[in-house]
Structure formats: C-alpha cells, structure tokens
Structure 1
Amino acid sequence: MCTWAIRLQCKIIKTNKKMKSKKLKVILGVILLVVITVVIILLAGSKKNATFTTATISEGIIESTVMATGYIQPVEEVEVGTQVSGVIEKIYVDYNYHVKKGQLLAKLETSTLSEKVNQAKASLKASQSELDYARQNFERVKKLYESKASTQVAYEEAVNRFNQAETALTNTKAALNQAEVDLSYAYIYSPIDGVILNRAVNTGQTVASSFSTPTLFTIAKDLTKMQVEANIDEADIGQVRVGQQVSFTVDSYPDDTFAGTVSQIRLQAVVTSNVVTYTVIVDAPNPGEKLFPGMTANITIAVASEKGLVVPVEAINFNVDKELSENLDIKNNSTSEGRDVWVKSGNNIERRSIKTGLGDGIYFIVKSGLSIGDEVVLSVTFDKKQSEKSSKSIMPEPPKGMGPNGPARVH
C-alpha cells in the first residue's frame, strides 16, 4: 500500500515537471513573439512622411550676361573757347539753350582789338607809300645805271630799298590780317547745332589765352542719341563683342529699362588700384531725352542666349541622403558622368541623368533627360508618423492558464 502510494506520488511529481517544462517553452515563445512585434511596430513608427518641394519642367530662354557700371554722355560734345584774351562783354545764351551752327554765343570787348586793326591799317598805308617811293627811285636809278650815268653802288642801294619796301608791305598786310582775325575771335559762335550743357564764364570776366584756349561753353550735338561709357573687368571682356544687345537702368528712373548696343571696345587698359578694366562704349537711343549726361548707368550685356527646357539649379543640387533612402527604400547610386536630378513618380522619386547647356546661376538649359511636365525635386521635409496604439495595445494578452507571475500550479 505504501509502496503504491509512493509510486503514485513520484509519478505525479514527474508529470508536474513535464508540464512545467512545456509551459516554460510556451512562455519563452510568447515573450519572443512580443519582442518581435514591438520591434516591428517601433520600426514602422520611426519612419517619416516625406513632403517634396518640386518644380515643373517647362520651356524658357536663358541668357548669360556681363554686368558693369558706366556713365551716360552725349555722342558728340564740343568745348567752345576763345583764341584771344579779353573781357567778356556780352553773353547771349545760357544753360540748356538750343543753338544753331554759327549762332552768336558771346562777345568780348573789342576796343583794344579794334585799335590794333586801325594801327595795322595805318602801317599798311605807310608801307604802301614807302613801296611806291622805292619803286620810283629804283626805276630812276635803273635808267641812269643803264646809261652809265649812275654807279653800281647807287643801283644796288635802290634795289635793296625796293625789296625792303615790298617785304615791309607784306608784313603789314599780315599784321592787318591777324588784327582783323583777332577782332573776329572776339565774337564767339557755335560750331554745331546742339544744346548748351555748360557755361563757364560770366559777363565782365577776363579770359586769357596766353598758354591754352579757355573753355567758355560746352555744347552737346544731339541729346536724342546718347552713349554709355562703362568699364568691363578683364575677366569678362573676352565675352563682349561689338553689336551685342545691352539693357541698363538709371537711378532716376528705377522702374524703366533702357536699351542699347555695344558699338566700341577700346583696347587701352584702364588700371586702378591693380584692377584692370577695359572701356566699352554702348550706343543708346534717347528719343524722349529722359537720359541726361553724367547719369550713372547699371548695364547688363547679353553675351549668350539659349532656348529650350529649363531646370532650376536647386534640382541639380538636390541629393538623396541616407535618411531619405531609408524612408523611401531607394538606392542612392549614380553611374552617370553628367548631372542627375530626381523626378517625382507617384509617392516615390526616381533618378534621371541629364545633359545641360547654358546656365545663368538660377536655371540651366536641359538638352536631354527630361520632358515638359516632369516634376523635379528641389527639397524634402519630414513629418514623423505618430502611432495610434498605446503601450498596452502593443503587448498581447497572455494565453489562457497563464497569469502575470507565470504558469498556474497544479495541485
């Protein structure tokens, strides 16, 4: 009896051990399942929504330009001066006067100059009388000399006196002519049709022409045709050609854009503080005479242009980083030797290799690789997904027969 009871108890103990081993395996399996589930959910929750900023490919024209600053000036400008010294007696014009060629601008006092003319005329008259007397004496002595009634010395003296009288008359004629010219210089006339830009003298002012011709007026020939004189950096001058189109603005009319054409590229370098530039002349029509001499012009020279599909520089600079690759499961590898862009395709993006042409720093011409309407990626932002499940919902309930402290004991 005791033996049977002992055997039964041993059997029960063995059965309990087997059940505990089996339940332990179940518990370990459940725990592993829970861990895997939690990891999957956490990984899924760590992914982020990608929002792309894109641009649509379209046609356009790109220009390569050279920019510089210059000054507006008349095409033809004349400085009017005087060749004689004197006092300004009368001024007939002022700033901005429109004048005609030959129009009287100013007059110097003429009393001194007129006196010189009168003196020259008197000298001329005396010289003429002296010449007449010398001629008569020469003819008389010549006849006597030919008839052997006069000596060789007397004849030669008569010849010399006659020649001297002729020379004196020539000199007095020249002096009279110069005096009359100087008198005419007292009247200042306009050499061209134009506009008075500057008046440098006033009535009563003394002007002296001893060393250089003093400037009295500055006249612009035609203000409906202006030119811009600009200095182009040596790094850019190689791109500039005669005939290229130019646009420019001036501070006086910030909303207006004026047009012009490159007419001259001067070969003489201008060196300022070790900076080398070259002077470029731009012809600019000015029909409304809005442009004034001396205005500052900000010019833009179109040195090249190309038409075609255009792509923003941001699209070429955009790169797929590790974070974006992991979120969208895309490979960031490129075998292209050219440039790459990323094109939106549904909820994902794909790489395109492109060939580009002319660029202006903002856009590039696309020669191949893209079509009108393609959406190229410029940038991306991320919004992290928020899991709607609580921490409790992540943990599955334990199987029946298992409490929070492990398997139930069998008694």
Structure 2
Amino acid sequence: MKKVLLGVFILIFLGLSGWLGYYFYNKANTDPVVYKTEAPFETEIVKKTVATGAIVPRKEVEIKSQVSGIVEELYVEAGELVKKGQLLAKIRIVPNMVSVNNAETQLQTARLNFEEAGRELKRYEQLYADRVIPEQEFRKYKADFNLKREALSAAESNLQLVREGSSRKRGQQQSNQVYSTIDGMLLDVPVKVGTSIIERNNFNEGTTIASVADMRSLIFEGKIDESEVGKLKENMDLLLTIGAIEGRVFNAKLEFIAPKGVDEEGSIKFPIRARVLLDEKDFIRAGYSANADIVLDKRDKALAIKESMLKFEKEQPYVEVETAPQRFEKRKIKTGISDGINIEVVSGLQKNEKVKVPEAGTVQI
C-alpha cells in the first residue's frame, strides 16, 4: 500500500515539475508587450442634444366659405402661388326655402310701405305747394319716403343674397365667391367641383376650401426631453437634418421653449420652436420630418484626447503619460466638454506629451 501511494506522489510531482518548466519556458520566449500611445490634438468639439419634430409654415390659414352650397368653379390648384384677394372658388347657392320665404315676405312688406309713403308724399307736396302746411312738416314726410325707399332696396338685396349669394350693389363683395386672405402658396385644395360645403359661422367651423401658407417663413416644431430642456436658451443654434433631403444641413435659431411639458408615453417632453434660416434658392416642403441638433456648447480649437483613454479614481479623471520609452505615470487632468468621442483637456496635459492607450489597444511585437 505504501508503495502505491509513493508511486502516485512521484507521478504528481513529475507532472507539476513538467508543467512549471513549460510555463517558464513560454514566458521566457514571449515577446514583450508594447503599449500604444497617442498625443493630444487640437480639434473642434461640439456638445449637442437632439430634438425630433417637423418643418411647418409659421403662417398657415384655412380659407372657408361664408355660404353653404356646392362648389361650382375652382380657379386654382395645390402648389400655386396666390395673392391676397385672389379669387379661389365660386359657390353655387342652394337656397334655404324658409329663408327665401322670409326674404320674399320682407320684400313685399317693404314694397307696400314704399308705395304708401309715395302716395302720402304726393298729397303733402300739394298741401305744401298751397302753403297749407309748413316746410318742417313736409320735410318729415319726405324723409319717411326716403327711408321706405332704402328699406325696399335692402329687402331686394337681401332676397337676392338668399337666392344667389350676391347683390347688385356696387362695391359689395359677392359672398358666394371665395378669396385668399393672405399671400402665399396653396398647400392643399381638399374640395372638388361639385362638392357640397357648409358655411363658417358661430356654431360650425365650415368646410375648408383651401390651405394657404407663406413658405418663405418656416419654423421647426419639435419636442425635447425634460432632462435636456434646462440646458437650452433662446437664440441657440440648431442644425436641422431632414430625412427627405440628403446631404444638406439647414441652420436654425431657437426662439421658443414651452414653459409646460406634455406627457408622452410616460416621459415628459417640452415643445420647442426654431426659425429656419433659408437661402433664396432653398425650398422645403411643409410637413417634412426633421431632427435638430441643438448646440449646447462649442470649442473651436480645443486640446483634446479620445474619451476612451480616460480612467477614473474616486471620480477624478486621470491618464497615464509616457515619461520614458514604455514607462508611464498617472496624472490627474481637468476635462471640459465632450461630444461622446473626444473630450476637452483643460489642464494637466501638454500637446507634445504622449498618453497610454488602454490595454484593449495594446499590440505585441
């Protein structure tokens, strides 16, 4: 039994001796590790946040009809430029029979009153000519006659308006014709010839005949997370990237930050608005989705290193600086802004010094 145990012990000893010999042999013949270094460099660092939204006109209006009826003529189509007061459409009135009946009754009453006032005026004209009544009394009947005549004219115009939507009075804009209220571009004409429409009144918004907007004055409307809104200030620069327009970045100026946020899928978002700065040749369609890079801070010629080269000790950043070939020392540094890739070095490091790249970037020779 003792011989068996002694044999096992000897085998284990020989095995360990062989393994240690192999380990030290490999270590003696392994190439030394050479750490890669990089020098600080000057670059532009932009710290920014991103807001999503869309490009919309600052001034957009919906043109509606003042009367109900059927679209009889359309003189424009979407995409055209229009001027304020330009005729857009003509509406064929479908008269309301109750309104027509009331207007006809008022006209008949006004005509009877006018005829009676005419007869009275003729009688008092003769009396005035015979000096039976004074001029003051005669003028009273003449004034009444003129009032009755104006009432008859108003009743005739009212009946015509109810039936046709227009009046014969000179200088009066026809209510069955729809005009543009601003200069701009027609974004949409949602109705067609033959479409029934409802008038705009106190109880109804009415049917939209056309949407007109000033496409030279565009704004970006978006939302930003509550964690970033405290960093924003008015007049900050924005860089707009529009998905439908590749290879272009548009400038904008932040002009409004909402004082109240809105709940959006469990997170609070704050609406923002920015003025889009366009060149004369630029044309952007309304409704394009866009992303806005909001510049929070910027350094034009900052001494920087890659942020991945930083190490931390008790929240204090430091780097390993090469003091001699492949010899390094820890050095605390003060950092500034970062763009997620490069970080500004405020103090603690010179441009001509070399910094050790972390072990993930080591090479062997």
Same fold, TM-score > 0.5, yes or no: yes
Structure 2 vs 1, CA of residues 46 and 167 (structure 1 numbering), >3 Å: closer, same or farther?
A: farther
Q: CA contact under 8 A between 1:47 and 1:384: conserved in structure 2?
A: no
Q: Does 1:272 align with 2:253?
A: no
Aligned to 2:293: 300
Q: CA contact under 8 A between 2:114 and 2:148: conserved in structure 1?
A: no
Amino acid at match of 2:303: L
Q: Does 1:288 align with 2:281?
A: yes
Amino acid at match of 2:186: I
**Secondary structure of 1:235's aligned partner:** helix
Q: Does 1:82 align with 2:65?
A: yes
Of 182, 203, 206, 1:192 maps to 182
Structure 2 vs 1, CA of residues 303 and 112 (structure 1 numbering), >3 Å: closer, same or farther?
A: same
Aligned to 2:32: 49
Structure 2 vs 1, CA of residues 85 and 44 (structure 1 numbering), >3 Å: closer, same or farther?
A: closer
Q: Percent identity?
A: 24
Q: Does 1:315 align with 2:309?
A: yes
Structure 2 vs 1, CA of residues 50 and 234 (structure 1 numbering), >3 Å: closer, same or farther?
A: same
Of 6, 26, 50, 1:67 maps to 50
Q: Does 1:370 align with 2:363?
A: no
Aligned equivalents of 1:135, 1:205: Cα separation in 2: 51
Q: What is the CA-CA distance between 1:269 and the residue it aligns to?
A: 2.4
**Secondary structure of 1:314's aligned partner:** helix
Amino acid at match of 1:208: I
Question: TM-score, normalised on structure 1?
Answer: 0.64
Aligned equivalents of 1:72, 1:124: Cα separation in 2: 57
Aligned equivalents of 1:302, 1:76: Cα separation in 2: 27
Q: Does 1:255 align with 2:216?
A: no
Structure 2 vs 1, CA of residues 175 and 302 (structure 1 numbering), >3 Å: closer, same or farther?
A: farther
Q: Deviations over 1:7-41 (max 9, x none)?
A: xxxxxxxxxxxxxxxxxxxxxxxxxxxxxxx99x8
Aligned equivalents of 1:177, 1:47: Cα separation in 2: 107
Q: Deviations over 1:161-214 (max 9, x none)?
A: x99x96996697388469659421211111111111100111111112273321
Aligned to 1:19: none
Structure 2 vs 1, CA of residues 239 and 227 (structure 1 numbering), >3 Å: closer, same or farther?
A: same
Q: What is the CA-CA distance between 1:260 and the residue it aligns to?
A: 0.7
Aligned equivalents of 1:383, 1:260: Cα separation in 2: 46
Aligned to 1:99: 82
Aligned equivalents of 1:379, 1:293: Cα separation in 2: 49
Q: What is the CA-CA distance between 1:342 and the residue it aligns to?
A: 0.9
Q: CA contact under 8 A between 1:207 and 1:214: conserved in structure 2?
A: yes
Structure 2 vs 1, CA of residues 44 and 90 (structure 1 numbering), >3 Å: closer, same or farther?
A: closer
Aligned to 2:322: 344
Q: CA contact under 8 A between 1:89 and 1:203: conserved in structure 2?
A: yes
Aligned equivalents of 1:304, 1:138: Cα separation in 2: 91
Of 202, 207, 220, 2:197 maps to 207
Amino acid at match of 2:227: A
Q: What is the CA-CA distance between 1:123 and the residue it aligns to?
A: 5.9
Aligned equivalents of 2:364, 2:36: Cα separation in 1: 17
Q: Which runs of 5+ in 2 are unaligned?
A: 1-20, 127-132, 134-139, 167-173
Amino acid at match of 2:239: S
Q: CA contact under 8 A between 2:52 and 2:222: conserved in structure 1?
A: yes
Q: Could you say which structure has the larger radius of gyration?
A: 1
Select the structure that is richer in helix.
1
**Secondary structure of 1:352's aligned partner:** strand
Aligned to 1:355: 334
**RMSD, matched Cα:** 4.0
Q: What is the CA-CA distance between 1:237 and the residue it aligns to?
A: 1.0
Amino acid at match of 1:285: L
Amino acid at match of 1:56: A
Q: What is the CA-CA distance between 1:62 and the residue it aligns to?
A: 2.1
Amino acid at match of 2:334: K
Aligned to 2:14: none
**Secondary structure of 2:310's aligned partner:** helix
Question: TM-score, normalised on structure 2?
Answer: 0.72
Amino acid at match of 1:370: L
Structure 2 vs 1, CA of residues 58 and 79 (structure 1 numbering), >3 Å: closer, same or farther?
A: same
Structure 2 vs 1, CA of residues 111 and 53 (structure 1 numbering), >3 Å: closer, same or farther?
A: same
Q: CA contact under 8 A between 1:262 and 1:282: conserved in structure 2?
A: yes
Structure 2 vs 1, CA of residues 270 and 288 (structure 1 numbering), >3 Å: closer, same or farther?
A: farther
**Secondary structure of 1:224's aligned partner:** coil
